[in-house]
Amino acid sequence: MVVKEKTVGVLAVQTYSTGVRYTEEHRDLLMIVSAQIALSIDRKRAEEDLIFASTHDKLTSLYNRAYFEEEIARLNAGRRNPVSVIMIDVDGLKKVNDTYGHGAGDELLKRTGKILQTAFRTDDMIARIGGDEFAIVLPETNEEAVNRRVDYLLECLEETNKISSDFKVGLSMGFSTTAPDVFLASVIRDADQKMYAEKNKKKYNPDEKF
C-alpha cells in the first residue's frame, strides 16, 4: 500500500480453498481496496502527528507548556490528590551555547529530557515549559514520595554525568505538594520560588567545563 511514493503497509490475501485461484479481476479489485486503505492509514497518521506536535516539545519530545497547563487544569478537580510538582531549571545553558554552540545547547536539553524520563514514572507528566525550564507533575504523590523521586533523579543525574565525555548536566530544582488548604497554583509558585532560590545560591566556576 503506497501513498505519495511512500509505503504505508502491506495487504496480504490468501485462499485456503482447494482449486480456488485469484484472477486479474480480483487483483484489480484488491488494488482499489488497498489504495483506499492506504489513504485512510496516511490520514490517521497525519492526525496523530498533528496531535503529538500540538502537545509535545519538538526538541525533547516531552510534553509542552500548553499540555502542562491543561494537565494542571484537570488536576485542579482534586481527584488525584495529593499532587506534587517539581520545577527544574537547567544550569549553564547559556554558557554551553556560548562556548560550544547552540547544537551543544540542544544536546544538553535533550540529555536532560532523557534523564527525567528515566527518573520518573510513566504516570508522571514531564514537560519542557520554557527554554531551559522543565516541570514534573506527580499525581497521588505525597511529600515523602516526592522526596524519594528527587533522590532518584539525583542518582540518575550523577550516573549520566559519570559517562559524559564533554559537558555535564546540572539542575536547579524546587518541589512542593498540595494539602487540604494548599492548592495547585500555590504549589507551583512555591516550587518555582524554591528552584530559583537554589539557582541563586550556586556559584559557577568560570573555568569549569560543562
pLDDT tens-digit series, residues 42-91: 888 888 888 889 999 999 999 999 999 999 999 988 788 999 999 999 99
> CB within 8 A of 21, min separation 6: which ones?
15
Comparing 209 with 33, the larger pLDDT belongs to 33
Angle between helices 24-55 and 65-75 (to 10 degrees): 80
Helix boundaries (H) for 127-183: 143-162
Residue 36 corresponds to which cell in the numbers above? 483506499
Note the pLDDT tens digit of each residue in 156-177: 999 999 987 677 899 999 999 9
Comparing 205 with 5, the larger pLDDT belongs to 5
pLDDT band at 208 (very low <50, low <70, confident <90, very high): very low
> CA 61, CA 112: separation in Å to the nearest integer?
12
Phi-psi region of 22 (alpha: psi -120 to 50; beta: other; left: phi over 0): beta
The DSSP bridge partners found for residue 138 are 84
pTM: 0.79
Fold of the 65-201 domain: Alpha-Beta Plaits (3.30.70)
Comparing 117 with 206, the larger pLDDT belongs to 117
Beta strands in the chain (DSSP E): 2-3, 6-7, 84-90, 125-128, 133-138, 171-177
Question: What's the pLDDT at 203?
Answer: 62
Question: What's the pLDDT at 97?
Answer: 93
Q: Give span(s): CATH 3.30.70.270, the chain.
A: 65-201
